[in-house]
Amino acid sequence: MGYNYSEPRSACEGCELAIIRNFDPDDLAAYVRLINEIDALEKLGKASSVQHVRERLGEPGRHPHEDIFLAEERGLLVGYAELQCELGIGRAVLEGAVHPARRCQGVGSGLLEAAIERGREMGAEVVQAPIPERMTVSRRFVEKRGFSLVRRHWRMGLTGYTGAAVPTLGGFELRHFLPGDEESLCALQNLTFADHWGFCPNTAEEIRYLVNTSECHPEGILFLCGGEGKVAYCWTVDDAVDAAKAYVRMIGVDPAYRDRGLGEAVLVAALDYLTRRGVKNVELLVDSTNTPARRLYESLGFKREGVILWYEKRLVPD
């Protein structure tokens, strides 16, 4: 059961005109406008399109009506909080923002309170929120409400890639995704990230959905295959609004095949593919503690462009 507040929450005292309510499908266009307006003002890198947000909210296991909260004032959306449930690892991931013109007036507190209540209702042990390091006001906001810093991810970017020599594959075959690869991609991804912080194992249903979204292309998912099947992969996706920008969504190597240069080989092949499509800027996220991955990206020209700080609030006792 979700929330539908017709009166301001106590946390919104001082913002009598604002109500906090659940998302409705009819809100989609206005929701995307709010996200993009805040992004334009704050340069958060979250600008999107109606199609991409519709696809994201349609992912298996998502319940937008219950897991997205909107702050509305005089019929206009002024803030949002969106939860993604990952009970497989005991967490709910929270992202949200308030329009700069309506900050420091209780709107954010009301949205956060609703999201935390929803997290408890879902049975999450923790709520985690990724916040850019430079957003000092947002960081202080969550810290004052019981969140603590638990992890750092680097946002790395590559501009004007000119190519690199593909390392010798040594008997491994390079090929792109084909229909029917969903289950093996799911298995490889779960295997390669099994010991990574914050990774919730995927299902074949989720992978099948994601590879058929508009941001994804079969040629943008590359595998290295050996005698025992797929042993490495790199999954790239388009930016929602900028045709010259793309992302490395995931890249991994079977633990049994690491330290053979396979990660570099499949990443170089993916970057070559993106370059042929006219992509000029490539971004990815990497855990700050993953030194081998950081060194690989830096060797190909990626540079750190920002840091994402992960904050956490426990909902159940340790």
Write out the two tokens for 49: 């399109």
pLDDT on residue 13: 45
pLDDT on residue 12: 46
Domains and CATH numbers, the chain: 10-124 (3.40.630.30), 161-279 (3.40.630.30)
Range in 13-22, 28-37, 282-291, 298-307 the model is least confident about? 13-22
Write out the two tokens for 130: 């990724």
pLDDT on residue 2: 32
When computed from its CA atoms, the radius of gyration of the chain, rounded to whole angstroms, is 21
> What DSSP letter does each residue of 41-103 carry, written as one string?
HH--S----HHHHHHHHTSTT--HHHHEEEEEETTEEEEEEEEEEEGGGTEEEEEEEE-GGGT
Query: How far, in Å, are 156, 176, 216 from residue 298 at the CA level?
Result: 9, 25, 25
CA neighbor of 49 nearest in space, from 68, 64, 35: 35
Q: Does the pLDDT at position 19 exceed 60? A: yes
* Nearest-angstrom CA–CA distance, 34 and 180: 38
DSSP state of 220: G
The pLDDT confidence band at residue 16, using thresholds 50, 70 and 90, is low
- 30-74 tens-digit pLDDT: 999 999 999 999 888 788 999 999 999 999 999 999 999 999 999
